[in-house]
Structure 1
């Protein structure tokens, strides 16, 4: 049965797997624990980081739409969504911290030796600002100072959008496949899709476990998720078509890793079917009386992780020396995530639910609607 208690037990198991990943990384070191190479230096951790950040961004945007523009369906649960946004952001920090192995060095040198021309420095700075704004916004919502929370919400949305767009810039300077004008809006749509999917799941759990009447909010989340998936489908279709037909050779070969290369099953099954087609089919049959929207949201979240994974890995699988051959290269680089890499993402998921479960109790939000 889809209950908070069952989800909590599963989450503790996931968190235990994540702890094993931390121990493995600390004991054996990054080079032994991760299946990364000089040719493919970014793996599943980067995909997981972007995945959790996208969820946090989407939840923040949806919550801000609620209490800034006073849309009742979102406004009544804005505090829950902001709390969840904070937690998923810290899950992202956990994942990227394991990837960096010594994240304290990044923090220290970002302060004492900043590089203002580096997108990575700006990413750290902007997400630090975003974290402070989220925590402050949640504090003022908790104190029922809604005007101040609304002001911080507007500032937070601006910082959030800039930070997420900067994330695209960080990718674009590394590989041609990751560059393009479509990336900033693509990242924002993906964030809204991620936030809407997580919102539907958690609000359904809250309604079932806490006996709150959240039908209108869940219904709005379903509609928002369906719209975001539809827009994402158009984005992906136009992106793949332009990359495969009219684009430069470097982008063409990157796209072909997904359309016909080693990532084709990840793309067609994970990204297209699980991420878009199946959720849209389930949402079309969903209603207030069934849990099809929850299953659609779970499927969409799986699909969105494949989107992040494909995006990160496809940009690196074509050898750099073959980037300018206008043909499908036959020597794609190979990458398979290690146990430690997979376990870190699983641990992040477990941490997210456990942290939300106990934070909701600590802040006495179980029976509360804003």
Structure 2
């Protein structure tokens, strides 16, 4: 064991001297940006969301809700991908467990930070969730299930750090159950809104779970590569094989999401279904076409899939580049999903004079800064985790 650590850890602290100074500087910069975002969020609470944000009565969900969906989808995906190894016993996936579970915790906490400023009185959710539960509300279930999910993930990570892998696997299974329930319920928050044709239907919960695992695969590969680059370490053969296996799973999921997207667009165009047709066309050739074709399709799906095929899932650096592209593209997916589902006016079929064909929405500076703070906060947690937990090393890799 000591010989293995000597090869993997060039220095006792992982980082030292000048490199440590740069590391601390980056953490400090990200921390400052997070603080700026929190200040903007608090300011929005004081002046009112209607003045600080670009959302309206007709388009009530904007960039912040899209960022929240991005973070919690990624967190669930990380939980599911990591569970393949230490919960369901597939050994090739076991080396990624610790860092993936930690990232699942970091991303969902970052999502909570963003959504806290999206809902005008976030403390009410925590209070009334307990003293006045509404069992018929999908959003009540979302808050409750994600709370349980975070609890199980925290306990699981603590047990992994303590080396109690069998008990950690049991908590991981509870986390998977809570995560799948919470995430499919998040899909239901959209899918049960029959007044929004673009979202409505049983497709949403299934799509959310599938795309979550795709997000998880991309995040696992990129942040494992980044973690080892930051620390200046060389990956073991076991960890590389684990990332290669994750890439192959990701390739399959890219194909599945391509399939989902293709049929969603076919059903949205065929027969011109009211409301859904207008939303689909806004993505194909309308104001959101660049988001869709360059963000969702090219960066989110095609580029990472082609890279995996080109290197036969055997080059970690190339896979990390494809994963970075995928993560950016997936953010476009979440933004388009949230916003495009609302931009078609509810009375579009009545041909009301002066009613716009598509409702306008443009994120404000407050929304951009708060969203950025979610990403910088996640980066701070990731970098602190690398130092506090020594790169999440274990005897497995």
TM-score by length of 2: 0.86
Kindly indicate whether the alpha-carbon contact (under 8 Å) linking 1:66 and 1:75 is maintained by their aligned counterparts in 2.
yes
Q: What residue number does 1:77 align with?
A: 96
| Structure 1 residue 255, shift from structure 2 partner | 1.7
Q: What residue number does 1:197 align with?
A: 218
| Structure 1 residue 110, shift from structure 2 partner | 1.4
Kindly indicate whether the alpha-carbon contact (under 8 Å) linking 2:244 and 2:316 is maintained by their aligned counterparts in 1.
no
Q: What residue number does 2:107 align with?
A: 88
Q: In the alignment, is residue 180 of structure 1 matched against residue 201 of structure 2?
A: yes
Paired residue for 1:17, among 18, 33, 38? 33
Aligned-partner Cα distance in 1 for 2:350–2:209 = 30
Q: What residue number does 2:380 align with?
A: 354
Q: Deviations over 1:84-139 (max 9, x none)?
A: 10111101101101111431111111111111111010000000111111111112
Paired residue for 1:242, among 267, 275, 283? 267
Paired residue for 2:158, among 139, 160, 167? 139
Q: What residue number does 1:219 align with?
A: 244
Q: What residue number does 2:292 align with?
A: 267
Paired residue for 2:306, among 274, 278, 281? 281
Q: What residue number does 2:10 align with?
A: none
Paired residue for 2:63, among 44, 51, 74? 44
Aligned-partner Cα distance in 2 for 1:332–1:86 = 37
Q: In the alignment, is residue 31 of structure 1 matched against residue 37 of structure 2?
A: no
Secondary structure class of the residue paired with 2:287 = coil
Kindly indicate whether the alpha-carbon contact (under 8 Å) linking 1:56 and 1:85 is maintained by their aligned counterparts in 2.
yes
Question: What are the ranges of 5 or more consecutive residues in structure 2 without an aligned counterpart?
Answer: 1-14
| Structure 1 residue 252, shift from structure 2 partner | 1.8
Q: CA RMSD in A?
A: 2.3
| Structure 1 residue 240, shift from structure 2 partner | 0.7
Query: CA distance change for structure 1 residues 12 and 321 in 2, over 3 Å: closer, same or farther?
Result: farther
Kindly indicate whether the alpha-carbon contact (under 8 Å) linking 1:48 and 1:92 is maintained by their aligned counterparts in 2.
yes
Question: What are the ranges of 5 or more consecutive residues in structure 1 without an aligned counterpart?
Answer: none
Aligned-partner Cα distance in 1 for 2:300–2:346 = 30
Q: What residue number does 1:297 align with?
A: 323
Aligned-partner Cα distance in 2 for 1:218–1:295 = 13
Query: CA distance change for structure 1 residues 9 and 173 in 2, over 3 Å: closer, same or farther?
Result: farther
Larger Rg: 2
Q: In the alignment, is residue 155 of structure 1 matched against residue 178 of structure 2?
A: no
Q: What residue number does 1:344 align with?
A: 370
Query: CA distance change for structure 1 residues 11 and 342 in 2, over 3 Å: closer, same or farther?
Result: farther
| Structure 1 residue 81, shift from structure 2 partner | 0.8
